[in-house]
Chain A
Amino acid sequence: MSKLRRVCRVLAVVLAASLLQVVSAGEGVQAADGQDQSFPPPGVYVGTEACVDCHEGFEEQLQQRKHGQTADSRTPMATEGCESCHGPGEQHIELASEEGEGGGLISFAGQSTESRQRENRMCLHCHQGGALMHWQTSLHAADTLACTSCHQIHKPSPVLDRTTQTQVCVKCHTGIRADIYRASSHPIREANVVCSDCHNAHGSAGPASLKQLSVNENCYGCHAELRGPFLWEHYPVSEDCSLCHRVHGSNHAALLTKSAPLLCQQCHQDIRAQGRRHVSRLYDFDFSDTRRRSRFVLGESCMNCHAQVHGSNHPSGAALMR
């Protein structure tokens, strides 16, 4: 416990120092990209009519999206129009007029870390509640991912449709792209289960950006029959489903990390009596002996008898056989 106390003391000092620094820093600190953090960004606003003179079709396209609903006073098109998100447009028009090229406003092209941070701030100004409350502390934010890395505003957004969402995620999460083709997997390829069913890509208070506060709570969302609590617990099951399962895909049945009996023998080497040595025995592929060892290996292996591996509520279920 003394180690933990020391760590907590250190953390308290760090937090206090950070708070003191940020509070004393006051308003007006330059953002990482050196840009002023005022909202709306300062400059001359030219109006949506000026934008659509060159950028044809955008206004009509947005009328069929949430951001374009002028009846909702919160939306960009109900306030400063295009410039609500892209910033004041006068400089952009001057550049285009004089030099025949773009620039001079927030383009959401995500060209650099600084520009991504600036672009994200435009989105976060409106989208910071609810499911996005943990964005700033999320893994994606730490990697300086841009909102537009996954979301499209002026085109249909594949990440918002269950049939195309996984393709967006696996562009970066290439390991998952391979895992979902394993012999045993959740129905991710079929889009019956999609990434956002379990994860909040915008960050969460749970591990690995899971929507629930623990791995097990997440799994119980679809597998509530395993929640218990059970009379006879299988302790690793109560702690963490991923101790035995590889949730995105596995070569072994039921998403297990390896097959029985070796899976079980990682933790079970019972020595109580001669008759129980079937737990600690090395089971090889030679079934010709007279001890009839194949019954411990074929079929469901250990689960031929010990079927209630997630826990048992039977008074005779201490060995998970009932």
Chain B
Amino acid sequence: MQQTNRQHLNRRQAKQPVGQVLTIAFSCLLSGALPASEAPQPEVNEVEIGVGYVSDDSYRFGRYTGLKEEGAYVIGDIKAQKYREDGYNWRLRGTNLGLDSKYLRLDGGKQGSHEFYIEYQKLPNYINDTGVTPFSGVGSSNLTLPAGFDINTNLNQNLAGFDQDNERERYGVGTSIIPRKLRNWNFRADYQHETKQGVNAVGGAMGGSFPGFTSTTTAAILPAPVDYVTDKVDLSLGYAKDKTQLEFTYHMSLFDNQDRSLNWQDPFAPARLGSQALAPRNQFHQLTATAGYELPGNSRMTGVLSIGRMTQDWNFQPYATVPPGFNAALPRDSLDGEVWLKTARIDLTSRPLPKLRLNAAYRYHERDNESSSATYNYFIADSTTAAIAPATNRPLSYRRQQVDLDANYRASQMVSLAGNLGFNGTRREYDNTTANDNDEYTAGAKLKLYPNSELDAELYAEHSRRDVSDYTNTPGISPDVENPALRYYYLADRDRDQIGMRLSYMPYEKITLGFNADYSRDKYNDSDIGLTESKVSSYTWDLLYLPRSNITTRAYYTFEKITSDQAGSESGLLTPDWFAQLEDRFITLGVGGEIRDIRGKMDLGMDYVFSKSTGGSDLRASDTVSSAASLGQYPDLETILNSLKLYARYNYSETLALKLSYWYQRYDADNWALDGVGPTSAPDVLLLGENVQDYTDNVVTASVAYRF
């Protein structure tokens, strides 16, 4: 809740007797003169109960709602509140109470004194139910194979389906208190408890070398358990009076995983065992102080100071699940992981002149990783093969400073100009090795035009230049294990250009047209290998048409294209010998409308959305690569979504209404990585054999809404 910054009102001018006479004499002439659109609309208490029916089973259709199975389900929604004259109130909101994706929240208390809330939310994520696996123990941290399992002879008869899904449940409580004698202060406390349970798919590799086995590296996609608990606490002390606002907050997040590791039998050699670490238990604590102050001359300053600490210290597993005699001693029992996050920010905004607005901001952010560093003589994927060279972990720390200056000048009623300058510098340290410092400078301008009351236009352009010093692909490791000509794109020198425009045109009061267009290009001029260029372009048309006061129609069309170019070197030479261009195209079309108050009783509505995404690739190789002659291009990655919603509401009386709706949705996808790919389609890898989950589904609902 927000504490108001209420000045005690100065004594206002007393009502003038003349004013009172005018008010009384003429107010009656104006009663009822307001247009209907300006009339107030009271809050409505309403409970809705009904039933819906889903026509077909589809895991994907019900991914985030729970409507994954054919059949009926209960509709339950509630929105209600009550305010009493003494300030006590309660507010209740509940949605999808009959579904897996339900939400319920109750707020209450006395406004301006003490308030509380309790909240419950369930969030399903039904990912895929078409995968198959030979493992038993799905959902646990130990996956076993049937006795006598042989992937070459009896795999198919041992495959069984399983569901990839997870479900979150959140419980939240909170309170807000404004002390009676300290009206400018408020205290708030929030607590949230979340569990997340389910099964995810995780790859598990097995290294080739092992006593009694001579095979290459193999892998299997494994059903991995998800059993997380996260507790969060937020405490806040706020102050606001006159020109000053302060806030002190403490945030705590505790994450726990009920499974430390995932252990499995190698399906290619069941006598072998694999084990990988799952997400470790961790904590985060953060203190933040924020202040705001109104300066003279229509100016304001805000400042933030924050310090946070992330820790993790789970005991390590052994290097490998190998026979005795192969495993080496660990250099330490656990990481003793500790990362400090420090942030400072100051903003100054001012209107020194009526037409001029200035902004200046400075931000400092530091990630100081004080985790331990040691050398690990690790084994490759539970084999008996030691790594070619021991590996030393190098905790990453960085310091980032940002400066932003903005100016906005309203030259006239029709023209507004804005400009911005920015600096963003990052200094990185990988344990004791300093490398990959970069500085980025930005300059931009914006022009806004308001030629008349019907037309608004905006044009903007911005250029950024990022330079990197002391670039290295693998800091602290010599020789460089990556191609020296490679540049990590997020560190590399880069030129970024952005331009765009916005138009809003209202030729008549009932029609509004909008047009947005944006273009952005990142060019990595010094990157011979790696990402070399990426571009994003998009435009959107919007139409809003209100033919009558109770009819709304709208339509929109968005096109977006994302293109990226990258180069590689299969030969390992410094010059690239292959090139790939990926292009994602998106088309989104929406049409909708409502007719309200038909004969004072009925509302009708419709929403249709069409979305098509196409991901194409163009692979090219130079003549030096042997595969150049037989290069196969990937098929397009394509998804098409059609969604139509029709709804009607019939107000039987002031308190009772009947609601009907129909929802049609069709999803078609082509994904070459999944289409027709069975568990053994790839050599040496046991896949899940899942499919893309095309679906067509219909949902019909009928419900009664009662207002009270």
Residue A146 interfacial (CB < 8 Å): no
A44 touches B19 (CB 8 A): yes
B489 touches A32 (CB 8 A): no
B276 touches A314 (CB 8 A): yes
Interface of A is mostly: loop
A208 to chain B, nearest CB (A): 13
- Binary A-proximity of B576-599 (CB < 8 A = 1, otherwise 0): 001010101010101000000000
In the assembly, what is the distance between CA of A314 and CA of B295, in Å? 54
Q: Pick the contact of A126 from B5, B27, B381, B633 — CB < 8 Å? A: B5
A175 touches B538 (CB 8 A): yes
Interface residues of B in 40-55 (CB under 8 A from A): 40-44
- Residues in B neighbouring A25, C-beta threshold 8 A: 296-297, 352
| Given A69-B83, A69-B111, A295-B682, A18:B348 Cβ within 8 A | yes
A13 to chain B, nearest CB (A): 11
Across the A-B interface, give the 3 residue pairs with the lowest CB-CB distance, nearest first.
A71-B87, A72-B112, A129-B240
Known: A190-B65, A303-B203. 10 other contacts (CB 8 A): A11-B405, A39-B7, A54-B33, A57-B39, A65-B83, A130-B236, A280-B568, A282-B627, A282-B631, A314-B316
B15 touches A316 (CB 8 A): no
B621 touches A71 (CB 8 A): no
A126 touches B6 (CB 8 A): yes
In the assembly, what is the distance between CA of A23 and CA of B284, in Å? 41
Q: Pick the contact of A228 from B10, B202, B280, B347 — CB < 8 Å? A: B280
A137 touches B568 (CB 8 A): no
Q: Identify the stretch in B147-155, B335-343, B646-654 within 8 Å (CB) of chain A at 4 or more residues.
A: B335-343
A79 touches B240 (CB 8 A): no
Residue B59 interfacial (CB < 8 Å): no
- Residues in A neighbouring B1, C-beta threshold 8 A: 130
Interface of B is mostly: strand
In the assembly, what is the distance between CA of A104 and CA of B269, in Å? 85
Q: Identify the stretch in B134-142, B363-371, B699-707 within 8 Å (CB) of chain A at 4 or more residues.
A: B363-371
Q: Pick the contact of B302 from A137, A190, A268 — CB < 8 Å? A: A137
Q: Pick the contact of B582 from A58, A192, A262 — CB < 8 Å? A: A262
A136 touches B19 (CB 8 A): no
Residue A306 interfacial (CB < 8 Å): yes
B378 touches A32 (CB 8 A): no
| Given A11-B403, A29-B296, A322:B41 Cβ within 8 A | no
B401 touches A4 (CB 8 A): yes
B674 to chain A, nearest CB (A): 8
- Residues in A neighbouring B560, C-beta threshold 8 A: 175, 178
Residue B661 interfacial (CB < 8 Å): no
A70 touches B4 (CB 8 A): no
| Given A7-B423, A25-B352, A236-B490, A313:B12 Cβ within 8 A | no
In the assembly, what is the distance between CA of A301 and CA of B677, in Å? 13
Interface residues of A in 201-258 (CB under 8 A from B): 205, 213-214, 217, 220-221, 224-233, 235-236, 238-240, 243, 251-252, 257-258
Q: Identify the stretch in B68-76, B304-312, B545-553 within 8 Å (CB) of chain A at 4 or more residues.
A: B304-312
- Residues in A neighbouring B316, C-beta threshold 8 A: 231, 313-315
- Binary B-proximity of A176-209 (CB < 8 A = 1, otherwise 0): 0110011100010111100000000000010000
| Given A79-B9, A269-B530, A292:B23 Cβ within 8 A | no
Which of A30, A68, A286, A305 gathers most chain B CB within 10 Å? A305
Q: Pick the contact of B296 from A23, A33, A63, A192 — CB < 8 Å? A: A23
Residue A148 interfacial (CB < 8 Å): no
B202 touches A307 (CB 8 A): yes
- Residues in B neighbouring A191, C-beta threshold 8 A: 95
Residue B408 interfacial (CB < 8 Å): yes
Interface residues of B in 55-100 (CB under 8 A from A): 63-65, 79, 81, 83-87, 89, 93, 95
B708 to chain A, nearest CB (A): 13
- Residues in B neighbouring A151, C-beta threshold 8 A: none
B93 touches A161 (CB 8 A): yes
B255 touches A266 (CB 8 A): no
- Residues in A neighbouring B343, C-beta threshold 8 A: 205, 213-214
Residue B691 interfacial (CB < 8 Å): no
